[in-house]
Amino acid sequence: MFPEILPNEIEKALKEDKQLPIIDVREAEEVAAGKIPGAKHIPLGQVLTRTNELDPNTEYIVVCRSGNRSSLACEWLAGKGFKVKNMAGGMSNWTGDIE
C-alpha cells in the first residue's frame, strides 16, 4: 500500500518553495490544459517503461485527473520498489497554480 497526500498539502509546500517530485500520469491532451508547475509528464501507459527516468531513492507524488489512474501508477511503482504518494482527488481537486 502507499500513502495519499491532499492537493492543499502539495500547494502549501510549493508556496514554501519546497521541491516536490511530481509525476503527472494523465494523457497529453489533459496535461496540455494545465499541470502542476514542475510536474514531470509520464502517461500511465508509459509508467513501467520509463522507470529508468526515476530515482529509486526519491519519493514521488503521482497525479491524474481524479486519483484513479495515479493510484494504479502508485501500485505499479510501489511494486517495483519506488516510494510514492497518490494525490487524493487528482487535478479535479487542485486549486493551485498550473502551467
Catalytic residues: 64
Cell readout for 40 is 514531470
Q: What angle do CA 83, 67, 84 make, to 5 degrees?
A: 5
* Residue ranges in the chain assigned as alpha helix (H): 7-15, 28-32, 68-79
- Residue 1: CB atoms within 10 A of its CB come to 6
